[in-house]
Amino acid sequence: MPARDIYLNTVRSALQKDGWTITHDPFPLQIGKKRLSAGLGAERLISAEKETQRIVVEVKSFVGQSDVKDLEQALGQYVLYRQILNEMQSDRSLYRERHKTQRL
């Protein structure tokens, strides 16, 4: 299992406080025979429309030695996960939360 991002539990709590139900932790993805996972799957009822909004959340902390390298990795993951969700014909949209941790 991949390492969990340092902010994942904070994002999880914030989603729940905002009315989201966590449906997957982590959210499973598959491309061919390869299995991957994004941080969380969540959903909430949109009362005005009486529909359910479903999202996949990937949390990335830019805490590496290079902000550019962190950005390259995050962008690559975003593109890959979006493509996988499209191929899976998922009704979920991909949401990414980014946190910049200040270096001392």
Task: Show the domain range for 48.
Answer: 8-97
Domains contained in the chain, number: 1
Q: Where residue 20 sits, what CATH number does that domain have? A: 3.40.1350.10
Q: What are phi and psi of 82, to 5 degrees?
A: -60, -45
User: Per-residue pLDDT tens for 68-100?
Assistant: 999 999 899 999 999 999 999 888 988 755 555
2 lies in a domain? no
* Structural contact between residues 57 and 40, judged by C-beta atoms closer than 8 angstroms: yes
56 lies in a domain? yes
Number of H helices, E strands in the chain: 2, 6
81 lies in a domain? yes
Cis peptide before 28 (omega within 30 of 0): no
103 lies in a domain? no
- Banded pLDDT at 66 (limits 50, 70, 90): very high
